[in-house]
Structures are given as C-alpha cells and as structure tokens.
Amino acid sequence: MKVLAAMSGGVDSAVAAARAVEAGHEVVGVHLALSRNSGTLRTGSRGCCTIEDSMDAQRAANILGIPYYVWDFSEKFKTDVVDDFIAEYQAGRTPNPCMRCNERIKFAALLEKALALGFDAVCTGHYASLLTDEFGNLELHRSNEMAKDQSYVLGVLTAEQLKHSMFPLGATASKNDIRREANERGLSVANKPDSYDICFIPEGDTQDWLSEKVGKAPGQIIDREGNVLGDHQGTHEFTVGQRKGLSIGRPAADGKPRYVLEISPKTNTVIVGPQAALAINEMVGTRYTWCGNAPTETNNWSEILVQVRAHGDAIEAEFKLDSGEMRIRVKQPLLGVAPGQTAVLYLGTRVLGQTTIDRTVSAVPVSTGSEV
Amino acid sequence: MAIYLDHAATTPLRPQVIEGYLAQLQVLGNPSSVHSQGQKARQVVEDARDQVAKAVDCHRSEVLFTSGGTESNNLAIKGLFLDAVKRDPQRKVLLTAGTEHHAGIDPVEWLEQSEGAQVVWLPVNDYGVVDLATLSEYLDEHGRSVALISLMWVNNETGLITPIAEITRLAAKHEVPVHSDAVAAFGHVPVSFKQSGLATMAVSGHKFGAPVGTGALIVARDAKLAITSHGGGQERGIRSGTLSAPLALALGASAALAVAELEQVSSRLEVLAQKLKNSILGIAPDAIFTRGEHEGFAGIVHFTFPGCSGDSLLFLLDSAGVSVSTGSACRAGVAQASHVLVAMGRTEDQARGSLRISLGYTTTEQDVDAFIAAFPNAYAGAKKAGLPSK
C-alpha cells in the first residue's frame, strides 16, 4: 500500500511510520503545518508545530529512509479547529479540539488530499487498534495499552475513514516499549516528552488564552432559583463542573462549595449550585456518527458503555435514536458533563460511535423541573 | 536520476572549478599571515578578487568576500542604515518592498524594531513591479529623511527584473544610497555594478555554480557602512573573519565562467522557458504566469495554478522524479503561502497555488521535456486534491 505517515515530530508517530515501513508499505512522511506563528524551539510538553518539531519529524523520516514533506493546513486548522473552539466556548459549550482536528483535518482534509494524490491510507501514532470482524468489517478498538488509549478521540471516524486509516501502535503493550523501540531504531525523538494540553495554547492556560481572544463580557452568576450571587468577566471563563474561580462572596445556605451547573451565553449568566446538582442521567445529541458499521438495533434502548472525556472511564449506559436525536441514559448519575463534549459509545473494547452532546438531563431536577 | 529544475534554490557546482578548489583546500596558509605561505594564500584570494571585480564590473577594492547572500544583505542594509542615521539623525526612513527575499526583509524589520527605522513599503503592482512614481514622489517630498533604499535586482521567486539604474537615478538627486540584493541576478542577467549607481550589492556563489558558503558584498568606494560584525578587520573592516582562499578561488572562477557564458546560456534558456510556458498553458489554460509580460530572468518560470496547492504539485512531480519548488527554499519546515505573492496582492489561496520551475546553466531540452511529460498527471492530481481551505 501507499501510505502517508502523518509525522508530528513526536515519538509515537515516528514509530508508527517505522512500523508501516517495516510492514512493507511505500511510506511518505508528511508534517502538517498547523500554526501560522511557529515558535523556534519546543518548551517541555507544551506547544506544537514548532520548527523544532518539523525538524524532528524530518530527521525521523531521514532515518527511516522515506521522503518527507510539510503540508500547510494552517488556514483550515484555524477555521475548523481554533475558531470552532472559541465559538463553542462562546456558546457555553466545552469542545474537544483534538477530536475536531481528527474529524476535520487529519482524517478529512489530509486524508482526502492523500487519496487524491494516490495514497491508500493515512498512518498516525494514535494508540488504538483496527480489527476486522468475522465478515471482514473494520472495527476500531481500544489499544492494548489502556493508559495511553486514544480510541476516544478517534470515535468520530466513519467506516469509510477507517478503511483508509492505519494505527500501527494499537497492539503495543506500553509507551515504554515505544520509546525503547524508537531508541533501537536510532530515532532521536525516543526521549522527547509527551504532548499534553491543547497544542495551539502554548502557555497551557485555556481561560487566559480565551480571554485574550474574546475579551471581557461581564455578567452575573446566579443560582438555579435565579438569585444573583456574584459577577463574572465572561462566560468563556467557565466550564460545567468547575469549582475554582467563582468569586461568590456569600457561602451557600448549606455551607458547601458551589459548582458551575450551566452556562447561558444568551443571558450571559453562569448558573451555579451544589455538587449534587451536577449529576445528570441523560445526554442528548443530534450530531452523531457510527464508527464502522452502524448497529442494527437503534430504536430500542441498547446496552453500551459511554465515555465522555479523553481520559475518563467508560460507564454503563443504554442508548437509542429518537426523532433524529441520540439519547444516552447512564445507569449511575454522571457528574459534570458539559454540552459540547463528545460521548463515545463502546461495545466492550469496540468503538461503536459518538455524538457531540447538545444537552443533558439533570438527575436532580429543581422544583421548576427545568432541564439543566 | 532526478530531473533538476530548481536552479534558483541552488545550481550545480561548476566542474571546471572543482579541481582547483580541492587542491587549494590542501594548501596551508592564512591569507592574512605575513610569511610566505600566508602571502601565497593571499595571492589566491586577490586573484579571485580580480575575477569577481571583472565579472561584476567594479573596482577590485569594492569586492568583499562573505559567506553568501544573507550575510551580504545583512552587512549592507544594517551598515548603510546605521551609518546614515549616525551622520544625520533625520534620515530614518528605509524604503523597500514586501516582495524582497527574507534576507532583505528581516534585517529591515530588525532595524525597525531595534534601531528606530521608519520603514516605507513601496507599493508593487499585480506583477510585483515597484511603483517608481510613488518612489519618485516620496523622494521629492521626504528625500532628506531617507536613509536607504533596498530593492532586489531579480526577484528570486518570480524572476522579475527591477530597473535598478532608474531607482539609483531617482535616489542620487537626494543623496540616498541604494542597496540591491542581486543574488538571483548576478550570473544570470547582465550586471554592471559600475553602471548601476548602487552603493552596495549582494551576491551569492552557489546560485551560479560556486560552492554554498561563498558570496560577496560589493561596496562602492564612497559608500559608508557602519560596522555591524566585529573582529580582526579583514575586508575593509566590514566583514571580519579569516579569509578562505579555496572558497574565494571557487567563487572567482565560477563568476568568470558564469559571465563568460551568460549570453549564450540566456538565449538557450529563453527558448527552453518558452517551450515550458507553452506546454504548461496548453495543459492548464487557467494558469497565470506570475510576472506577466514584464522583463525577467528567463530561467525562472513561476506560475500560479488556481484551485491547486503548490505542495500537491511539488509532491507529485517529486514522486515522478522532477525537482521543482513552490517558492523560496529558505522557509522549508514551515509551509506558508509565499509572502512575495501575498505582497503582490494575491490571496493566500492564489499564492498557495505557486510553482517555480527554475532553469540553470546545466539545463537541457531533455530536462524540460521530462517536466512536460510528468506535468499532466501531476496537474490532474493536484487539481483533484484541491485546496485545504475549501
């Protein structure tokens, strides 16, 4: 196969490319330029797309003996990932930019370009496994290394995208094995620190970064009964489930800390309440996709596992489609789930599909019974 | 063997200079040493200086050996500006254009940020032609506040020629020195430093067949440059550092060869470039020849292809064994739309569809034919892949 290895300059994508070469594929390394104002050097685990990252990717490609190119996706990345991230926060939601990047850049714009230019597949260093069922259908599964499993952020992939994807690290036992393998292969990135945080927020402080982008928009902090408790400097500074940074003078009647329950950009208010009120028992989304073949039964409640954040646990739940919406009911109330997050559905280790959460249903209704 | 059509990035080392260069590498002696061995090394350097002076048509003492175009541009732009401001603090304006190479733009931006330069970016039209009327008016009104004009002789991406003599004529009325980045010009189009009226001119060896790491800064005898790189005082104190006899030798010999065959090579390249252009327009009728009908160096053939990404074209041509470029090679590692094309008023999408095919002294008709054979598939694939922003 003719394989395009997306190479970030990190150790995972370098080893993934190496394995693709070793498997006998014709591999070409491509580094995606995603940032307009690239820094020169990387500092620790933060930042991304520095010239150093590009040089590291190129050096790895040299050592593997494969051609290497830099392709500019910075404009699309800005509109589809960065601007989307800002808009989602402004709309009171909590987005996952890595997911958007996979959905719109790596396995969309990049994959489409790769296919048009004659490639058969895109190979990345994600920790996830592509398996084939008894009928030859592709399925996406969790990686063997649960601590590094990244199947969640790949939950947006469709059957068509899976056909052209390659995740050579899925069967890896541990990240240490990858580093050892990189070292044995003479790859200089063997000991490069892992990336954390959001790549386009180099300082790591999302709230500061957002404030710089969207400015201040003071409003009120209220409780579920509508009592005004304090002021805020912009709803983008808050996410559902947040406890810190709420400048509310008076303690709650019960003396317990209060949490952000809901963000209402329309009224520019942040609604807070006790931790118990964060509990939800249902999530609903209209933007859902199936990862591989769609399940045959979608009209009645079916047992699944659901995961709502990249490093969260999968918990027992059931789902069904109802008037164009995917409804997911959790068996035990779940705390702090924000609209904008992605709910990924699993059947055991298999990724079944996902939906962006549009709204949640509180497990603890207030007297008015309104949805939170 | 890959077909090489990226001579504007670097061109093959001239075979005739290799033997002498390799021999000189093994000769001991610092050209600045007083003993006989030093004097022998010095003689090699000074022979080379004569060759370069003859090739660029200047006095031998106006030739300063440097490491290449970037160093030459930095020494000249910073040196001329800082000296002008020192002599007359009113002269703070630096006139240049957004279509310059980064080696011309970045020193200017540094002067703006660190040394109080007021930069006026001269308007250019859709083809990159600097608006001389604006320049003339600006000089008539503010001539006494201008420290320096810096404009390149041949644009390294589009091949466009800037009429340097006209610019120096306008500048002379106001006693404003003019620097020109002639890296893409010297060895390719007729260059006479004496007749140019320039104060300084940057030349790079590897663009005309000398090794990478060679170059010259031509500094008129009456030009005044502040020293910005300090050391042992070699090369009129402007470019300190031990002189390299082998590098000077290779530069001098290559410069002589390039100028000797310039006329014959240019007429050959003109025919090849025309064939290339016709074939490209036959296959991609909506392609736009970037410098239009304006005068340019025949060896640089630059097109924009609407709806195509230059990096798709480059990838597919490279896969087919043809080496070309999307623009300057210097920003490799960070893919960006060409600042030159953006300065010419192109949108980023238009600029992204750039492809530069550059011919050199070794280019043959077979090279051009190989490109023409590979181009239809590459173009079809790139068109299919489209632009990432769509």
**DSSP conformation letters of A121-146:** EEE---SEEEEE-TTS-EEEEE-S-G
Q: What is the pLDDT of residue B298?
A: 97
Residue type, B94: L
d(CA A33, CA A31): 6
Rounded alpha-carbon distances, angstroms, from residue B224 to B38, B78, B196: 30, 11, 17
Look at the block and give the residue holding tokens 């002067």.
Answer: B111
Q: What is the pLDDT of residue A369?
A: 40
pLDDT band (50, 70, 90) for residue A305: very high
Query: Contacts of residue A116 in chain B, CB cutoff 8 Å?
Result: 312, 381, 384-386
Query: Each residue of A145-188: pLDDT tens digit?
Result: 888 899 999 999 999 999 999 999 988 878 899 999 999 999 98
> pLDDT at residue A129 above 90?
yes
Count the helix, strand and coil residues of chain B and give each as a percent rounded to the nearest 5: 45, 15, 40
> Residue B348: which H helix or E strand, with range?
helix B348-352
Query: Contacts of residue B337 in chain A, CB cutoff 8 Å?
Result: 72
CB contact under 8 A, A117 and B386: no
Question: Mapping DSSP to helix (H, G, I), strand (E, B) and coil, where does residue B254 land?
Answer: helix
Q: Which residue, among B311, B259, B276, B331, has the nearest Cα to B159 in the 3D structure?
A: B276
d(CA B340, CA B353): 13
CB contact under 8 A, A51 and B388: no
Interface residue B329 vs chain A (CB under 8 A): no
Query: Contacts of residue A69 in chain B, CB cutoff 8 Å?
Result: 311, 314-315
Tokens linked to A291: 């990862």
Over residues B99-125, the mean pLDDT reads 97
Tokens linked to B20: 């002498």
**How many beta-carbon contacts under 8 Å exist across A and B?**
63
| A118: closest chain B residue by CA | B381
Interface residue B348 vs chain A (CB under 8 A): yes
A48 flagged as catalytic? no
Q: What is the pLDDT of residue B21?
A: 98
Catalytic residue among A48, A49, A98, A101: A101
* Helices B69-87 & B102-114 angle (0-180, nearest 10): 30
Q: Which residue, among A102, A43, A2, A45, has the nearest Cα to A354 in the 3D structure?
A: A102
Residue type, B158: T
Query: Each residue of A78-107: pLDDT tens digit?
Result: 999 999 999 998 888 889 998 999 999 999
d(CA B155, CA B98): 11
Query: Each residue of A242-294: pLDDT tens digit?
Result: 887 777 766 666 777 889 998 988 899 999 988 888 899 999 999 999 999 99
Give the mutation candidate from B308, B315, B348, B349 for the A interface (greatest A CB count, under 10 A): B315
Query: Each residue of B19-49: pLDDT tens digit?
Result: 999 999 999 999 999 999 999 999 999 999 9
Query: Contacts of residue B309 in chain A, CB cutoff 8 Å?
Result: 71-72, 113
For residue B93, give the DSSP letter.
E
Q: What is the pLDDT of residue A49?
A: 63
Q: What is the pLDDT of residue B331?
A: 57
**Is A20:A6 a contact under the CB 8 Å cutoff?**
no
Tell me the shortest Cα–Cα distance from B327 to chain A, in angstroms: 13
> Residue A326: which H helix or E strand, with range?
strand A325-334
A101 flagged as catalytic? yes
Tell me the shortest Cα–Cα distance from A38 to chain B, in angstroms: 8
Pairing of strands A315-322, A302-307: antiparallel
Please, which residues bridge with residue B355 across strands? B303
Over residues B229-245, the mean pLDDT reads 96
> pLDDT at residue A370 above 50?
no
| A106: closest chain B residue by CA | B388
Q: What is the pLDDT of residue A372?
A: 42
Residues of A with CB under 8 A from a CB of B: 28, 33, 36, 38, 51, 54-55, 58, 67, 69-76, 79, 109, 112-113, 116-118
Phi, psi for residue A259 in degrees, rounded to 5: -125, 160
Tokens linked to A20: 């693709």
Out of A54, A69, A75, name the one closest to residue B389 (CB): A75
Over residues A219-229, the mean pLDDT reads 89
Query: Each residue of A233-242: pLDDT tens digit?
Result: 888 888 888 8
Give burial (CB, 10 Å; 0-12/13-18/19+) of A117: buried
CB contact under 8 A, A117 and B381: yes
Over residues B171-184, the mean pLDDT reads 97
Q: What is the pLDDT of residue A48?
A: 59
> pLDDT at residue A329 above 90?
yes
Comparing A34-48, B258-272, B320-334, B351-365, the range with the smallest average pLDDT is A34-48
d(CA B106, CA B27): 38
> pLDDT at residue A319 above 70?
yes
CB contact under 8 A, B381 and A73: no
Q: Which residue, among A302, A53, A371, A357, has the nearest Cα to A202 in the 3D structure?
A: A53
CB contact under 8 A, A54 and B311: no
Pairing of strands A350-356, A342-347: antiparallel
> pLDDT at residue B388 above 80?
no
Output the average pLDDT for chain A. Answer: 89
∠ Cα A153 A155 A157 (to 5°): 110
Query: Contacts of residue B315 in chain A, CB cutoff 8 Å?
Result: 28, 69, 117
Question: Mapping DSSP to helix (H, G, I), strand (E, B) and coil, where does residue A253 land?
Answer: coil
For residue A278, give the DSSP letter.
G
Out of B315, B316, B335, name the one closest to residue A72 (CB): B335
d(CA A346, CA A337): 18
Interface residue B384 vs chain A (CB under 8 A): yes
CB contact under 8 A, B388 and A72: yes
Q: What is the pLDDT of residue B1?
A: 77
Q: Three-state SS across chain A?
A: CEEEEECCCCHHHHHHHHHHHHCCCEEEEEEEECCCCCCCCCECCECCCCHHHHHHHHHHHHHHCCCEEEEECHHHHHHHHHHHHHHHHHCCCCCCHHHHHHHHHHHHHHHHHHHHCCCCEEECCCCEEEEECCCCCEEEEECCCHHHCCCHHHCCCCHHHHHCEECCCCCCCCHHHHHHHHHHCCCHHHHCCCCCCCCCCCCCCHHHHHHHHHCCCCEEEEECCCCEEEEECCHHHCCCCCCCCCCECCCCCCCCCEEEEEEECCCCEEEEEEHHHHCEEEEEECCEEECCCCCCCCCCCEEEEEECCCCCCCEEEEEEEECCEEEEEEEEEECCCCCCCEEEEEECCEEEEEEECCEEEECCCCCCCCCC
What percentage of chain A carries pLDDT values higher than 70? Answer: 92
User: Who wins on pLDDT, A354 or A43?
Assistant: A354
Out of A54, A113, A118, name the one closest to residue B334 (CB): A54
Query: Which residues lie below 8 Å from residue A311, measured CB to CB, with a gap of 6+?
Result: none
Over residues A308-327, the mean pLDDT reads 93
d(CA B384, CA A166): 23
Out of A36, A70, A113, name the one closest to residue B312 (CB): A113
**Is A47:A56 a contact under the CB 8 Å cutoff?**
no
d(CA B348, CA B325): 17
Comparing A6-10, A349-353, B214-218, B386-390, the range with the smallest average pLDDT is B386-390
Tokens linked to B372: 């023409």
CB contact under 8 A, B385 and A75: no
